[in-house]
């Protein structure tokens, strides 16, 4: 801790905002929106305009969506009042009044909230892994399908690989803090993982357990079968390519039906009604 901080008596962790750290370290709506647009246009021959962001948290995606085109509209749904209010204060308020008029934030359960049919529903950063059993997941996929228009598409992300099923901690530096992803435990009988995000700061302070996620690590074949059971007629998998330079993922996702073994993969699943 520096002298000036000690004088002020507040550590960097005490001054930090966990949602701000989260948005900087986890979310990438500006990288995800082009993927959605490309895949939707390939199938529908037009741009998607209306988006539903399930488990929206601070609604970063919903706000980026309306900012990205003057005719785009978005509805964000989350159970948690605190993060919705943070999103209102920081993300919604950064939009023009006209852009704000095209976003609706709803405090509610993604299983229950209805609205006009949308072109695209997204559930990103694996939030739907919170549904623990197959009947719960079928119910969620059915609810997602029911609020899509005839040309609508559901976008999900998924992760897995042997490293996803081991207790391990990964650190990634950002400007002003280090993001720490801790896989604390994994139960292979239930495929149930207990995970935490912590943030560490240069003065040695930390926001321990800023976020906690207990969820089931679903496999792609399981998810595709459940999507079919929920009434989706077609599913596609978009798999990340590998950079020849670094040997790591290159952020370029292409449609694949087969992939080579990968100890830590992230992919997109796209489902069509
Ligand atoms: C992993 S965060 C996702 C935040 C954001 N979507 C993102 O991409 O980073 C999970 C969020 O899901 C919300 N949530 C959990 N169960 C829910 C449900 N049944 N309906 C709506 N929101 C839910 C939590 O309140 C939390 O904000």
Provide the residue ranges of all domains of the chain, joining segments of one domain with +: 22-160+218-272, 162-215
- Ligand 1 pocket test, pick from 63, 79, 87 with the greatest ligand atom count within 8 Å of Cβ, gives 79
3-state SS string over 172-215?
A: EEECCEEEEEEEEEEECCCCEEEEEEEEECCCCCEEEEEEEEEE
**Tokens encoding 13:** 């962790």
Closest CA to 78 of 44, 31, 36, 112: 112
**Collapsed DSSP state (helix, strand, coil) of residue 100:** helix
Residue pair 177/145 in contact (Cβ under 8 Å)? The answer is no
Report the atom number in ligand 1 closest to the C-alpha of 80.
Answer: 25
**Collapsed DSSP state (helix, strand, coil) of residue 85:** helix
User: Would you say residue 112 has pLDDT above 90?
Assistant: yes
Percent of the chain with pLDDT over 90: 92
- Ligand 1 pocket test, pick from 22, 55, 56 with the greatest ligand atom count within 8 Å of Cβ, gives 55
pLDDT at 108: 97
User: Would you say residue 196 has pLDDT above 80?
Assistant: yes
Provide the whole-model pTM.
Answer: 0.95
Which DSSP string corresponds to 15-82? H--HHHHHHHHT--HHHHHHHHHHHHHHHHSS---EEEEET-TTTHHHHHHHHH-TT-EEEEEES-HH
**Tokens encoding 50:** 């209306």
pLDDT at 244: 87
Read off the pLDDT of each residue in 160-188 and give the average, rounded to a whole number. 97
In whole angstroms, give the CA distance from residue 231 to residue 32: 25
Please give the class, per CATH, of domain 22-160+218-272.
alpha beta
Ligand 1 within 6 A of CB of 56? yes
pLDDT at 243: 87
- Residue 6's H or E segment, with its range, is helix 3-8
Percent helix / strand / coil, the chain, rounded to 5: 35, 35, 30
DSSP 8-state assignment for residue 248: S
């Amino acid at each position: 801790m520096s002298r000036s901080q000690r004088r002020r008596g507040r550590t960097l962790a005490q001054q930090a905002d966990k949602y701000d750290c989260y948005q900087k370290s986890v979310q990438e709506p500006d990288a995800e929106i082009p993927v959605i647009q490309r895949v939707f246009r390939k199938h529908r021959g037009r741009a998607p305009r209306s988006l539903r962001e399930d488990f929206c948290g601070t609604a970063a995606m919903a706000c980026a969506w309306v900012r990205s085109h003057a005719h785009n509209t978005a509805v964000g749904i989350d159970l948690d009042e605190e993060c919705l209010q943070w999103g209102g204060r920081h993300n919604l308020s950064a939009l023009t009044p006209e852009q704000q008029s095209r976003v609706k934030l709803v405090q509610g359960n993604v299983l229950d909230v209805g609205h006009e049919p949308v072109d695209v529903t997204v559930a990103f950063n694996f939030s739907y892994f919170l549904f623990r059993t197959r009947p719960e997941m079928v119910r969620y996929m059915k609810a997602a399908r029911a609020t899509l228009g005839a040309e609508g598409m559901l976008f999900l992300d998924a992760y897995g690989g042997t490293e996803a099923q081991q207790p391990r901690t990964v650190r990634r530096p950002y400007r002003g803090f280090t993001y720490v992803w801790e896989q604390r435990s994994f139960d292979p009988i239930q495929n149930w993982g207990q995970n935490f995000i912590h943030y560490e700061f240069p003065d040695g302070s930390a926001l321990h357990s800023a976020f906690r996620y207990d969820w089931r690590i679903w496999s792609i074949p399981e998810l595709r079968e459940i999507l079919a059971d929920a009434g989706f007629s077609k599913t596609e998998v978009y798999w990340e390519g590998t950079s020849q330079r670094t040997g790591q993922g290159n952020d370029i996702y292409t449609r694949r039906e087969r992939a080579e073994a990968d100890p830590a993969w992230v992919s997109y699943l796209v489902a069509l009604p």
